[in-house]
Amino acid sequence: MKFFVDTADTKDITELVTTGLLDGVTTNPSLIHKAGRNFLDVVREICGIVDGPVSAEVVALDHLTMMREADVLRKIADNVCVKVPLTVDGLKTCKALTHEGTQVNVTLCFSPNQALLAAKAGATFISPFVGRLDDNGFDGMQLISDIRLIYDNYGFETEILVASVRHPVHVLESAKIGADVMTAPPSVIKALFNHVLTDKGIAGFLADWEKTGQKIV
Ligand code: E4P
* Dihedral angle sign, alpha carbons of residues 108, 142, 157, 151: negative
Q: What is the CA radius of gyration of the chain?
A: 20
The values of phi and psi at residue 197, to 5°, are -75, -25
Q: Atom 10 of ligand 1 has which residue's CA nearest to it?
A: 164
Question: Which residues are CB-contacts of 45 (< 8 A; sequence separation ≥ 6)?
Answer: 10
d(CA 109, CA 168): 21
Residue 15: alpha-carbon gap to chain centroid: 17
Q: What are the angstrom distances between the C-alpha of 131 and each of 40, 73, 162, 166, 170?
A: 27, 27, 10, 6, 8
pLDDT tens for 87-139 read: 999 999 999 999 999 999 999 999 999 999 999 999 999 999 999 999 999 99
Distance CA 203, CA 175 (A): 30
Mean pLDDT of the chain: 98
What are the φ/ψ torsions at residue 172 (nearest 5 degrees)?
Answer: -60, -50
**129 pocket-lining for ligand 1 (C-beta < 6 Å):** yes
Find, among 79, 59, 91, the residue nearest to 4 by Cα: 79
pLDDT of residue 169: 98
Closest of 35, 11, 13, 15 to residue 24, by C-alpha: 13
> Does ligand 1 lie within 6 Å of residue 95's CB atom?
no
Greatest C-alpha distance within the chain: 71
Mean per-residue pLDDT, 48-67: 98
Share of the chain above pLDDT 90, in %: 100
Q: Which atom of ligand 1 is nearest to the CA of 184?
A: 6
Write down the CATH number for the domain with range 2-212. Answer: 3.20.20.70
Query: How does pLDDT run across 168-212, given as a tens digit for each residue?
Result: 999 999 999 999 999 999 999 999 999 999 999 999 999 999 999
Please give the average per-residue pLDDT across 57-83, as a whole number.
98
Q: Is the CB of 84 under 6 A from ligand 1?
A: no
Name the pLDDT band for 82 (thresholds 50, 70, 90): very high
Residue with the smallest CA separation from ligand 1 atom 12 is 164
Element (H, E) at 25: strand 24-26
Phi and psi at residue 185, to the nearest 5°: -60, 155
Q: From the CA of 45, how far away is ligand 1's center (Å)?
A: 20
Nearest protein Cα to ligand 1, atom 9: 164
Q: What is the model's pLDDT at position 154? A: 98
**pLDDT value of position 217:** 97
For ligand 1, the distance from its centroid to the CA atom of residue 94, given in whole angstroms, is 19
Q: How far is the CA of 163 from the centre of ligand 1 (A)?
A: 5
CB of 28 shorter than 6 A to ligand 1:
yes
Average pLDDT, integer, range 15-35? 98
Cα distance between the two ends of the chain: 36
The reported pLDDT for the residue numbered 151 is 98
Catalytic sites, residue numbers:
83
Report the C-alpha gap between 13 and 19 in whole angstroms: 10
pTM above 0.95, yes or no: yes
pLDDT, tens only, 129-177: 999 999 999 999 999 999 999 999 999 999 999 999 999 999 999 999 9
d(C-alpha 118, C-alpha 141), whole Å: 18
Distance from the alpha carbon of residue 185 to the mean position of ligand 1, in angstroms: 8
Identify whether the C-beta of residue 203 lies closer than 8 Å to the C-beta of residue 174. Answer: no
